[in-house]
Amino acid sequence: MRTRFAPSPTGYLHIGGARTALFNWLYARHYDGVFILRIEDTDQLRSTEESTRAILEAMSWLGLNWDEGPYFQAERLEMYQEMTEKLIKEGKAYYCTCSPEELEQKRKQALAEGRKPKYDGTCRDRHLTKTKEAVVRFRAPEVGITTVHDLIKGDIVFQNEELDDLVIQRSDGYPTYNFAVVVDDALMGITHVIRGDDHVNNTPRQILLYEALGFPIPKFAHVPMILGPDKTRLSKRHGATSVMAYKEMGYLPEALVNYLVRLSWSHGDQEIFSLEELIRYFDIDGVGKSPAVFNPDKLLWLNQYYIRHYPLEKLVASVKPFWEKKGYDVSDTDYLKKIVQDLKPRVKTLVEMAEQGAFYFEEPHYDETASTYLTASMKPHFRKLITRLREWPDYTKEGIGNFFQSFTEETGVKLKVIAQPIRVALTGKTVSPGLDEIMLTLGRQQVLRRLERAENYIDNTG
C-alpha cells in the first residue's frame, strides 16, 4: 500500500492541501504502507524553491513525515519524455503545432456559439514531426465510456466524447500535470490516489493515459473540498489559509491536525483524537461525500483543549518563542513553567498566552481602568497586607490561602473587596490567573514590591 502527497510549489502549504496530505499519511500509517512526498514543479514559471521549503517545513510542523522523497518532477524529465515518445511511436500521441492564440480563439468562438470548448483535432492526423513549437497531444478515444471507481463517491461514468486530446508535453519539453501524475504515480507504485475532488474531472483522462501506457490503474479516493463561510472554495480572502500562519497565530499542530481530520471524516461522535487513535481509526469508509465549511471557532476550541492538555515541558517550549519575540528574558525555565501552568487553562492560543503573561516579565503599568481599583480607600488594606505578608511564615499555595483567610478574619475585610485591587496592583489588569497562583509564581519579593508600587501610585494619584 503506497500513498502520496503531491503539492505544486507555487505557494505555501494551505489548509486544504494539509488535509489531503493528512489523509494520505493516515491511510498509509493505518495500513502500514508507504507515504511518499512528490513535488510537482513542472510549471517552471510558478514553481519556486522557497515554496518547496515552506511546504516541507509545514509538513514537518504538522508531523506528517514521509517515507520516500521528496521527489521532484523537474528532475524526472527524461522519464516523461521517454513515455511520450513511446506513445508517439505507438500512434497514441501526436505532435500538434496549433498556436496558443489560435486555440484561445477557437475556444472563445466555441463558447460564444454554445458549443463545448474542446480541441478540434486539427493536428490529430497530420502526422507532424517534432518542431520547436510543437506540443504533444494524447490521442484520446472518441467513443465509449470511462468509469472512475471512486472509493468515496462510487462509480462515476464519463463519456469519452466529452474528453479531448489533451496536451501531455508542452513545447518547452516539460510534461503537463495530467501526464506527469500518471507516469509518476505508476512508476512510484502508488496504489491509492487520495486527493481533492477538484480532480475528479481529470481522472478519466488519467485513466485513459494509464491504459495507453499499459500501467495498472490505482484506486482513487476523491476527498470533498474545504469551503469558506460563503461556501466557495477556501481561499485567502476567507482569512488565513496557510498552515504556517496558524503556527504564527499560536496554534498547536496537534490541534490543527485534529481539526482538519474531522472535516469530511468522522468516527462516531468522537471529536478529540490522539495521533495513535487517528492511525487506528482512520479509513476511507469514514470519509463523507459532502464538502465542509472551515470553522475557525471550532479550531480555536480544539486549540484551547490541546493547550490545556499539552505536556508542560512541550507547552513551555512552544510559547517560549512568542515571549522571546516580545523581548522578555526567557532564560529561567522553572519560572516559565510556573507561568505556563497558571495561564494554560485560560487561553485559546499561544499568542494569547504570551500576551496575558506579560505581567510576569515586566512590572505592570497602571492605566485608567486600574486606577479605579487603586483608590485611597485601599491604602490601609495594602499597608496591612504588606506588613503581614512580609512576615507570613508559609509562602506556599496552601499558605497563601491560609494567609488570606486569616487576613480577612482578623481585619473583617471581605476577600471580594480586596481581591480585584490586589490583582490590579500585581498585574495591572482586571483579568488574570487566581491570586494565589500569581502570587506564588511571582514570588514574595516581587509581590511585596508591586504592592508597594501600587501604594505609591495611590499616594501620587489620590
Partner RNA sequence: GGUCCCAUCGUCUAGUGGUUAGGACGCUGGCCUCUCACGCCGGAAACAGGGGUUCAACUCCCCUUGGGACUACCA
Residues with catalytic roles: 236
Q: How far is the CB of 327 from RNA (least distance, A)?
A: 25
Beta bridge partners of 4: 36
H or E, element range at 227: strand 226-227
> Among candidates 51, 11, 15, which has minimal Cα distance to 240?
15
- The nearer residue to RNA, 255 or 292, going by C-beta atoms, is 292
Least distance in Å: CB of 272 to RNA? 9
Q: For RNA, give the closer residue by CB, 198 or 332.
A: 198
Q: Using the rule CB under 7 A, which residue among 86, 346, 379, 384 binds RNA?
A: 346
In terms of CB distance, is 64 or 226 closer to RNA?
A: 226
Binder among 84, 264, 303, 318 for RNA (CB under 7 A): 264
Please, which of residues 279-308 interact with RNA by CB under 7 A?
286, 288-293, 295, 297-298, 300-301, 304, 308
Interface with RNA, residue 158, by CB under 7 A:
yes
| Ramachandran angles phi, psi of 219, nearest 5° | -85, 140
CB 96 to RNA: min, Å: 8
Q: What is the side-by-side order of every strand in the sheet holding 2-5?
A: 2-5, 34-39, 68-72
Contact yes or no for 118/148 (Cβ under 8 A): no
Exactly one of 11, 31, 33, 43 binds RNA (CB under 7 A); that residue is 43
Q: From residue 202, give the alpha-carbon distance in Å to each of 81, 134, 164, 299.
A: 21, 23, 11, 32
Q: How far is the CB of 426 from RNA (least distance, A)?
A: 10
| Among positions 82, 172, 367, 459, the unique one binding RNA when judged by CB under 7 A | 172
Exposed, middle or buried: residue 18 (CB in 10 Å: 0-12, 13-18, 19+)? buried
Measure the CA–CA gap between 4 and 394, rounded to whole angstroms.
60
CA distance 320 to 83: 52
Q: Which is nearer to RNA, 193 or 329 (CB)?
A: 193
Closest to RNA by CB, 177 or 325: 177
Q: Which helix (H) or strand (E) holds 79?
A: helix 77-89
Of residues 155 and 334, the one with the C-beta less far from RNA: 155
Angstrom distances, CA of residue 289 to CA of 6, 271, 286: 22, 19, 10
Site string for RNA, 48-87 (x = CB under 7 A): ----------------------------------------
**Phi and psi of 133, rounded to 5°?**
-90, -5
Binding residues for RNA restricted to 175-204, rule: CB under 7 A:
176-178, 197-202
Binding mask 85-124 for RNA (x = CB under 7 A): -------------xxx--x---x---x--x-xxxx-----
Taking CB under 7 A as the rule, does residue 233 contact RNA? yes
As measured in angstroms, the least distance from the Cβ of 362 to RNA is 19
Question: Binding mask 442-461 vs RNA (x if CB under 7 A, - otherwise)?
Answer: --------------------
Nearest one of 344, 354, 266 to 312, comparing CA atoms: 344
| Binding-residue pattern over the window 368 to 407 for RNA, x denoting contact by CB under 7 A | ----------------------------------------
Comparing CA positions, the residue from 33, 27, 65, 4 lying closest to residue 280 is 27
Distance, CA of 236 to CA of 232 (rounded, Å): 12
**Contact call for residues 164 and 119 (beta carbons, < 8 A):** yes
Smallest separation (angstroms) from RNA to the CB of 443:
17
Residues 4-23 vs RNA: string with x where CB under 7 A? --xxx-x-------------
Q: How far is CA 135 from the centre of its chain?
A: 38
Q: Which of 153, 219, 337, 379 binds RNA (CB under 7 A)?
A: 153
Q: Does 29 bind RNA (CB under 7 A)?
A: no
What is the closest distance, in whole angstroms, from the C-beta atom of residue 253 to RNA in the complex?
A: 19
C-alpha span between 110 and 118 (Å, rounded): 8
Write down the least CB distance from residue 145 to RNA, Å: 9
- Tell me which stretch binds RNA (CB under 7 A): 50-58, 273-281, 340-348, 371-379: 340-348
Cβ nearer to RNA, comparing 112 with 391: 112
CA pair distance 342, 441, nearest whole angstrom: 8
Kindly tell me which of 7 and 250 has the beta carbon lying closer to RNA: 7
- Is the Cβ–Cβ distance between 35 and 29 less than 8 Å? yes
Q: How far is the CB of 47 from RNA (least distance, A)?
A: 8
Give CA–CA dist 328/437, Å, rounded. 20
Residues binding RNA: what is the number (CB under 7 A)?
87
Nearer to RNA, 117 or 189 (CB): 117
Burial of residue 380 (CB within 10 Å: 0-12, 13-18, 19+) is exposed
